[in-house]
Structure 1
Amino acid sequence: MAEYIQGEYFFLPQEHVLFGVGSLAKLANEVKVMGGQRVFVVTGHSLATQTDVVQKVEQALGSLHVGTFADIHQHTPKSDVARAVEQVHKLNADVLLSLGGGSVIDGTKAIAMKLSVEHGNFLPHIAIPTTLSAAEFSHLVGVTDEEQNIKAGFAHVQVTPTSVLMDASLTLSTPLQLWLSTGIRALDHAVETLYAPGAHPINDVLALEAIDRLFKYLPQSKYYPEDLAVRTELQLAAWMSFFGEVNTPMGLSHNLGRRIGASYNVPHGITSCITLPHVMRAMASTHASALAPIARRQGLVDSSASDQDAARSAADAVSALIQRLGLPQRLRDVGVPADELRKIAETTSSQSLKVDEIEALLKEMW
């Protein structure tokens, strides 16, 4: 009897994506189209004090800009969100604008959530990313509890940014290691899409295209960091990597990254550099058919290779890419103590591996 594919697809309430160099010129009109008059910018300290990016965005907003909160730290501490909410209240803002990487964008989602609990509605949110983490395309939020030093989170479709504006010229000030490592984060999104449970044919096509582009353009961006055409291609690849992520739950690499990142102050791009190749190898036997196309599209194996061999080759190729980009690949190199690997394993959720297996995997990463 024939087997038929069956599934369902959910759409996040994201209305508009603007992309390409020069898109910043459309920002003020974007605010007006959504009925906004008082825009509150949320960003990080480094971007505000060490670059002119925030100033450019404020100038593009003109009289629509009412204030800027430039103090969202890495991994989005809960206290930062609370202080930003106070400022939104004082300034009576009607549009939130996040400018930065995943921590800033997640922080702005958390601000929107907090305000909605207080007032019953969600403010429109325009996200302008300066990294490749792709948080702007997600309804997921990670916030760090500073007292417990653990990153928790929540999911709510209404915190998905209403609009996204990707202008590669605004990414030139992003430190190269941050830019490249968040590109590996996007690669992590795409790989985990492929072996996520359920049927997701649309996501799979985009994930494989994202992987191809990331393999091609990340090395080019390392050697030609000023090339805006290459940076634009990478922004599009990041979008593809996390397209409709509500349909593809995150896997073990992301779960380990969340657990390691906040507890040991490791950026999530770097956690993906360390965890992804090892998790791919661990999944090669159970998810071979999902991972094998990566290697086949890259021409890494011949047609006679088994899916399992192709899946392992894909993991090796990811590891080689990370090495070529000059990014960290070991837990010991980012300050994670060897005697805490068991605790990390015990507090990391996984549907695929048991605690002992996760611990063994962490020892390989160390």
Structure 2
Amino acid sequence: MNAYSETVFNAKTKIYTGVSSIKNLGPVLQEIGAHRILMVTDQGIKHSGILKNVLGEIPENIEVLIYDEVKPNPDVASIDETANNYRKKEISALVAVGGGSVIDSAKALAIVLTNESSISAYYGFDQYTEKALPLIAIPTTVGTGSESGNAAVITDETDGLKTKKLVFGEDLFPRVAILDASLLRAMPSGLIASTGMDALTHAIEGYVSIWSSHFTDALNLHAVRVIGKSLLPAIAHSENTEAMHGMLLASSITGLGMANSGLGMVHGISHAIGAQYDAPHGIVNAILLPYLLEYNWIANPEKFKEIAEALRVNIEGLSVEEAAKAAVAYVKNLTKEAGIPEKLSAIGISKEHIDVLVDIAFHDAQYMVPNPRKMSRQDIYNILDQSI
């Protein structure tokens, strides 16, 4: 990055933070003139008590319709069917309460409810014609980042092959995000671990991306620093409000960073696996991260050294290359401390699909291009072979 490097930084979301910031929901809905909202969530959030707390903040003059059947890795069929069910309900805004799948589903619905076609017609950048409905995002995990980004990830099946597609758009930046750690006090430690490692993946991949800029570096490296300090205390006890607050903010900070810097081949391979196996995104990312860091560090040792410093690794007396390797070793150990399996086989991924996964990942330019080290098919194969 220098004076001749042209970059663009895009940010649209107003973000409320802090314990009890959920109280801003009612005024926000009044401000945008909402009269009938669609609350998008899943069964886990419904039964956790979080949804009840959020509903308690909705003004009485606003009608609430609830769609609580979001499944992990939302697909074209579920988005299109849900949109058809609500298209004539005169929805004026959406409120997403949940993790990445919930927020991505709400983003997709915000487009399809005002446009006539299937969500599959809008893959790519700003492919829709009618303005999307306004969205308020309330994340209930510490890893999605979707609440501050402008993309929705949708599973597509064409000719029997499942892949993950991205829908981008200016309207997909939520109008407002509310980051209230008090809503997450009952979050299971395993979910904190997987989503927290997902946030770390976003931060590191965004920081070393060849699309990074001074703006995104500031966001992503700070997120690495906060996650390094907060992740293990949050896993140890979800009622550690300061740690949970730190994780929630870091996730959103790097969400904004990655929306502008792009990501790398942890996500390229992870999306292929998630589509084929319907595997949990955060855990797949967490397992793959050390393997890709080991592969990528030689592309930018200086940045990997800075990651080590942000993670509070003692690199005194080490060369840049040694410090970069120390960052990789630290992340590998952190995944173990967080309770993440070392191999994908632990979550049911087998080697029989490696060739298909390689083909999908290799053709995913969204992640291949910004990855700091160029990858061949054989490189991707080797990563999968090692990690399964």
**CA deviation profile, 1:265-319 (whole Å, cap 9, x unmatched):** 2111101111111111101111212222111344435344232222221111111
Which residue matches 2:357?
344
**CA deviation profile, 1:12-31 (whole Å, cap 9, x unmatched):** 332x1111111112211011
The aligned amino acid for 1:41 is M
Bigger drift between 110-119 and 245-254 goes to 110-119
* 2:75 is aligned with 1:93: no
* Offset, 1:85: 1.3
Q: How does 1:255-266 map to 2 (within 5 A)?
A: 255-266=268-279
8 Å CA contact 2:15, 2:176 repeated in 1: yes
Which residue matches 1:253?
266
* 2:133 is aligned with 1:134: no
8 Å CA contact 2:40, 2:70 repeated in 1: yes
* Offset, 1:125: 0.2
Which residue matches 2:130?
120
Distance, in Å, in 2 between the alignment partners of 1:347 and 1:114 is: 26
* 2:176 is aligned with 1:163: yes
* Offset, 1:199: 4.9
* 2:385 is aligned with 1:363: yes
Percent of aligned pairs with the same amino acid = 25
SS in 2 for 1:128: strand
The aligned amino acid for 2:197 is I
Which residue matches 2:8?
9
8 Å CA contact 2:343, 2:387 repeated in 1: yes
SS in 2 for 1:71: coil
Distance, in Å, in 2 between the alignment partners of 1:172 and 1:90 is: 37
Distance, in Å, in 2 between the alignment partners of 1:173 and 1:72 is: 20
Q: How does 1:3-82 map to 2 (within 5 A)?
A: 4=3, 6-14=5-13, 16-48=14-46, 50-63=47-60, 64-82=62-80
The aligned amino acid for 2:180 is D
| Normalised TM-score (structure 2) | 0.88
Q: How does 1:177-326 map to 2 (within 5 A)?
A: 177-326=190-339
Distance, in Å, in 2 between the alignment partners of 1:325 and 1:93 is: 41
8 Å CA contact 1:99, 1:130 repeated in 2: yes
Distance, in Å, in 1 between the alignment partners of 2:28 and 2:257 is: 22
8 Å CA contact 2:146, 2:252 repeated in 1: no
SS in 2 for 1:36: coil
- Could you list the runs of 5+ residues in structure 1 that have no partner in the other structure? none
- Could you list the runs of 5+ residues in structure 2 that have no partner in the other structure? 117-128
* Offset, 1:39: 1.4
Distance, in Å, in 2 between the alignment partners of 1:109 and 1:170 is: 21
| Compared CA separation, residues 39 and 280, structure 1 to 2 (3 A) | same
The aligned amino acid for 1:358 is I
SS in 1 for 2:19: coil
* Offset, 1:237: 1.1
**CA deviation profile, 1:196-250 (whole Å, cap 9, x unmatched):** 1145112112212211111111110121221222211111111222224332122
Distance, in Å, in 2 between the alignment partners of 1:153 and 1:198 is: 18
* Offset, 1:111: 0.6
8 Å CA contact 1:7, 1:200 repeated in 2: no
| Normalised TM-score (structure 1) | 0.93
**CA deviation profile, 1:328-358 (whole Å, cap 9, x unmatched):** 2211111111122222112103242000011
8 Å CA contact 2:224, 2:311 repeated in 1: no
| Compared CA separation, residues 273 and 38, structure 1 to 2 (3 A) | same
8 Å CA contact 2:41, 2:97 repeated in 1: yes
